[in-house]
Amino acid sequence: MDAADRDAIAEAIRRAESRTAGEIVVVVEGAASSYRTVPVVLALTLALLVPWPLIALTMASAQRIFLIQLICAAALLAGLLWYGRGGRFVPGFVKRRRAHDAALREFVARGLTRTSGRTGVLLYVALQERYAEVVADSGIDGLVDAGRWEAIIEPLITAAREERLTEGLIAAVDAAGALLAEHVPPRPSDVDELPNKVILL
C-alpha cells in the first residue's frame, strides 16, 4: 500500500466522520500471529519417533542414535519452519481466533474505548489470515444489527483477495460512516478525537 493509497483511505475516513459523531480507525496487519509454535511442536514430535526404528533395526550405539535424532530434529525444525511460514500447518479456525484476538487488542491500543459517547469503530484487516472484522464500542454496537457489519466485511474480504484492498477499505469506511451517521449523527461540540489515517502493522 503506497502513500497515495493511504491518503485516499485517510480522506475516506475524514469524509465519513464529517457525517457522524463516531470515530473510525483502520488497521491493516500483515499477519495476526507468527504461528511458529506449530512447526516447532510438529518437528520435535517427529524427532521423538526417530530412535525407534534405529533401535529395532540397527546395532547403533545410544550415542550415535542420539546424534542422529539431534540432526533429524534440526533438519525437521528448519524445514518445517520454512515450509510452515504463514501458518500453513495451522487450522483456519485457529487463524481466525488469533486474528479476532489481535483485532480486540488493536481496538484498545488505538484508543477507541476512550472516545466521547463510546462510538468508536475499528476496521481491522489481517492479510495473511484473509480476515477482516468490525469492532464497535458499546455506544454503537448495541444499536446496529450484526448482519449490517457483516455486509460491510464480506465485500472487503473479497476486495482483499482480488488485490483491491484500498478500494475495499474505502468502500468499507464509507459504509461504516453511513451506519454511524444513521445512529450517531454529528453534534455541534464534536471534535476529531483520533487520527484519520490507515495504520499499517
pLDDT at 153: 94
Q: Which has the closest alpha carbon to 175: 102, 167, 192?
A: 167
Q: Class of the 3-34+90-200 domain?
A: alpha beta
Per-residue pLDDT averaged across 151-156, rounded?
Answer: 94
Q: Taking the complete model, does pTM exceed 0.85, yes or no?
A: no
Looking at residue 14, what is its pLDDT?
94
Q: Could you give the CA distance from residue 32 to residue 86 in angstroms, rounded to a whole number? A: 10
Mean pLDDT, all residues of the chain: 90
pLDDT of residue 81: 84
**Cβ 152 vs Cβ 133: under 8 Å:** no
- In the block, cell 475516506 appears at 12
Identity of the residue numbered 162: E
The number of helix segments (H) and strand segments (E) in the chain equals 8, 4
**pLDDT attached to residue 109:** 92
The 10s digit of each residue's pLDDT in 18-49 is 999 889 999 999 988 888 888 888 889 999 99
DSSP letters for 2-31:
-HHHHHHHHHHHHHHHTT-S-EEEEEEES-
Single out the residue of 125, 112, 119 nearest to residue 156, CA to CA.
125
Q: How confident is the model at residue 92 (pLDDT cuts 50, 70, 90)?
A: confident
